[in-house]
Structure formats: structure tokens, C-alpha cells
Structure 1
Amino acid sequence: MLSGTLFLGVAEAISNVQYGWGFNKGKNEQPADAGPKYNAIVEKYGAVYKVNTTKKEIYLTFDNGYENGYTEKVLDVLKEHKVPATFFVTGHYLNTAEPLVKRMVKEGHIVGNHSWSHPNFTQVSDDKIADELERVKKKTEELTGQKGMSYIRPPRGIFSERTLQVANDLGYKHILWSVAFLDWDVNRQQGWKHSYDQIMAQIHPGAILLLHSVSKDNAEALGQVITDLKKRGYTFKSLDDMNCEKPQKTPQKQKIDIKI
């Protein structure tokens, strides 16, 4: 008679097919839509790119890969208008803009994870992803005292079902976006009105705005954007206010002792 251990309930290998986030932009205050394929992936892994609501609530987020001299103005505007935001930072930003990161947390904003070195997660191992995220989380806590880190924005907006699941297993929720435009190219800034017009044209209830802090246009438009959106009845909410389910972790293997 032979005895052994059988593992049941083992999940099949999760797809590492690469996706780049994209969607049909909202207009006339109707929500953006990523389409059936992306909507299914977002739902499956508990990610979010908009909040399904008819309330005029919006969520302001920034990607901070490096400092270009405009984040201080952004923080000044947010403080003046009492608006919360989430800043997704990289290791480079943490190492080169410590006073700004400390100010973010001190003034009540959330610091989220944008990876340490901004790699394409689909091209690195699970362990490498975990290390990238842990380094940002640890450094942020050392600088600011922020305990824990709940939100991730995938570097370059690139992901796969595998990378979504890896981050889920580490306790992160993916925050994508439903309002965005080409604002990250510092050589293609077109004036504050361009930024303002892009945001106002795409805005909708439940929108998650992605802005890049390197943009001069964004920094100069932000105050007017906030003022005019408030006039239109919008309120700015923190990501912590979202009523979303937590992402599901990979099911654990079930061990059963058998005798043959």
C-alpha cells in the first residue's frame, strides 16, 4: 500500500498575454468605456478605471515618475481647494523628491505604487514584481510614515492577467483611469487651456482622472479645472472612498492525504 499527498484545486497557469490600457473616451458627461474584453478583465481581477455611479463624484490621480518642478504648485492648488489626490510614485521619484513625497502624506493625500524602476511587468518574473512593489512601499513608509500601500498603477499602463493576479496576491488594487490625454511629453505642452479643455470634455460621474505631474499645462490648469468642476456640481473624492470589493487572491492549493 502506498501513501502520498494529492494537491487539488490548483489554478491553471494564468495568461501572460500583454495588454496596454485603452478605452473610448467619455463625452457629454457620459462615461468612458473600455469595451467588453477589457471590462471583463477589469471585473475578473477587481481592478477599477471608473466608478459606476450617477453621482458627480470624481477621483484625481497623478503619476510621478520624476520631478519636473510642477508638483509643488499642484500641491498648493490641492491645499487651497481642499481636494484629495493619489500620487503614484516610482523609486526614482522617492529618491529625488523626498520633501514633496513627505508633503503629500502630511497634507492628507495617498501615495500609491507605480513600481520601483518602471519596467514592463509582463516581461519580468513574479518575484521581480513583488520586489519592485515592496521597495516602493518600504521607502514610502520610511519617508512619510504611511502605513501600508493599497493601490497600484501598472507601469506604462501595461499588464497581463498574470501581473494583475500577482499584485492582487500582494494586497493591491489596480487603479486604471477613464480620463487622460497626451500630457506627459514635456516637449509638447500646448498651454493651460489645452489641458483644461481635454479634462472638461472627457469628465463624467465616477471618473478617475490620470494627470502627469511633469506637465506645466496641468499645473497651470488645475485650479480652474477644480473651480469649474465644482460649479458643475462635481465633488472630489479619495480612492479610499470607493465602494469597491477587494481583489481576489489566488486560491490556495488544497492538500488531501490519500492511500493507494
Structure 2
Amino acid sequence: MIYKANTNQKVIALTFDDGPDRRFTPQILDVLNKHHVKGTFFLLGTRVEKYPDVAKRIQNEGHVIGNHTYWHPELTKTSVKNMKWEVKKNEEAIQSITNFKTQLFRAPYGALDDDLVDELSKMGYRGVGWSIDTEDWKSLSSKEIKQNILNDIHPGAIILMHSAGHWTQDLSGTAEALDEVIPYLRKKGYEFVTIPELWAM
């Protein structure tokens, strides 16, 4: 498991859960492209199958893809057997679209216990948590999201954001916040990296 990198280097990883979709994922990709930043996207199998073109775009634009289960259950309330099914089913969905098998896994709600982490390891996956929660899923404004990042920013941070959500959620603040926070943090000397790059540190 990784929640942050133990480093004094001013590096940050931007991560995005619950995608892809056609509402907010493209907005986020546009902002990342504009600023030449690569992110790590933890995708849901159901949405990969529904929006294969957006999943492909994430890959084509050089971002890292991670597994975020197929249906988004709270795994600690299910079983090891169910987690294996969720991970494998999503693995098949991602591979069928991208021809790529990820080794990165993030649990919905970050809900994992020792048994689940042990099984993930046996399956060849590495668990990814976060050290900064933007709480963007609450449909926050860009100003609030930006403040949640800047309040807790530190070297080696993993920032949790969302590139899709429930149809009632407005995640437009996420892309807007990114557009402001990336140049701001760059001026402060921060560099944006992917989870595999952070892990290597």
C-alpha cells in the first residue's frame, strides 16, 4: 500500500476515481493536456464498458490507468471472494479496451482490511490510497477544492479527485480547480508525477 511517498522532493501525484464518463473526464483531460501533466485514473469497469472511447483517450494521452473495481462496492462489507471477482471483472474490461493490464488498485471509499490487502498482493496488485482528499465529490466549488489541496500540500502527496460520479454530482469544480492549482504549485517548485513514478521514489 502507498498513501504518500516518503520524500523531501516537491513531487505530487494527481489521481482521479470513478471514471470514465463523457461529462467531466474530458474536461479534466483537457486541463491536464493544457498544462502537460500526467495523472493516474482509477477506472470503474461498468463505465469503461459504457465509455470505451474516453478510456482509450486516457491511455492515448499518456495517463496511467488503475483498477477501481467493476461495480464500486464497499469491499470491507463484502468478502475476499467478491473483491477477487470485482478486480478480475474490471481487469477484463480495461484490457479489452486498452490491451493493458494495470498493477495499481484503489478500493472504493479506500475501504480495505488486512485480508483484502494480502489477496491483492497475491493477485499482483499494489494498493493506492491518498494523503489529500479534495472532497470534490461533494460538488464543491473550484475555490473550495483548491483550498482543500493547498491546506494540506506536502512533498510526496497523493491527491484524491474524481473524474466522474453520480449523475446528481456536479464535478465541474474539479477541472476549474486544476486549471488554477497546477500553475500555482509549479511556481512553488512542485512537479507533477504519476503513481508509478512516485512509487519508484
TM over 0.5, yes or no? yes
The residue aligned with 2:113 is 160
Q: Which amino acid aligns with 2:66?
A: G
Deviation at 1:78, TM superposition (A): 0.9
Deviation at 1:236, TM superposition (A): 0.6
The residue aligned with 1:116 is 70
Rg: which structure is higher? 1
TM-score (norm 2): 0.91
Is 1:58–1:237's contact at 8 Å kept on the other side of the alignment?
yes
Size of the aligned set, in residue pairs, is: 195
Q: Secondary structure at the match of 2:33?
A: helix
Q: Which amino acid aligns with 1:226?
A: I
Q: Which amino acid aligns with 2:157?
A: A
One of 129, 132, 135 as aligned partner of 1:179? 132
For 1:229 and 1:95, the matched residues in 2 are separated by 35
Q: Which amino acid aligns with 2:178?
A: L
Is 1:66–1:92's contact at 8 Å kept on the other side of the alignment?
no
Q: Secondary structure at the match of 2:136?
A: coil
The residue aligned with 2:180 is 224
Judged with a 3 Å threshold, the aligned counterparts in structure 2 of structure 1 residues 99 and 133 are, in CA distance, closer, same or farther, namely same
List runs of 5+ in structure 2 lacking aligned partners.
165-170
The residue aligned with 1:27 is none
**Range 94-103 or range 116-125, more displaced:** 116-125
For 1:139 and 1:157, the matched residues in 2 are separated by 21
The residue aligned with 2:144 is 194
Q: Secondary structure at the match of 2:137?
A: coil
One of 123, 135, 139 as aligned partner of 1:170? 123
1:242 matches 2:198: yes
List runs of 5+ in structure 1 lacking aligned partners.
1-46, 246-260
Q: Secondary structure at the match of 2:38?
A: coil
The residue aligned with 1:6 is none
Judged with a 3 Å threshold, the aligned counterparts in structure 2 of structure 1 residues 119 and 169 are, in CA distance, closer, same or farther, namely same
> Over residues 9-51 of structure 1, what are the superposed CA-to-partner deviations in whole Å (9 max), with x where a residue is unaligned?
xxxxxxxxxxxxxxxxxxxxxxxxxxxxxxxxxxxxxx11010
For 1:153 and 1:122, the matched residues in 2 are separated by 13
> Over residues 101-123 of structure 1, what are the superposed CA-to-partner deviations in whole Å (9 max), with x where a residue is unaligned?
11000011111011011112223
After TM superposition, where is structure 1 displaced by more than 4 Å over at least 4 residues in a row? Answer: none
Please list, as runs of the form range in 1=range in 2, the aligned pairs for 1:25-104 lying within 5 A after superposition. 47-65=1-19, 67=21, 69-104=23-58
TM-score (norm 1): 0.71
CA RMSD of the aligned region, Å? 1.7
For 1:198 and 1:218, the matched residues in 2 are separated by 11
Q: Percent identity?
A: 34
Q: Which amino acid aligns with 2:29?
A: L
> Over residues 131-167 of structure 1, what are the superposed CA-to-partner deviations in whole Å (9 max), with x where a residue is unaligned?
2111111111111222x21111111211110011111
Deviation at 1:243, TM superposition (A): 4.0
For 1:201 and 1:97, the matched residues in 2 are separated by 34
Q: Secondary structure at the match of 1:88?
A: strand
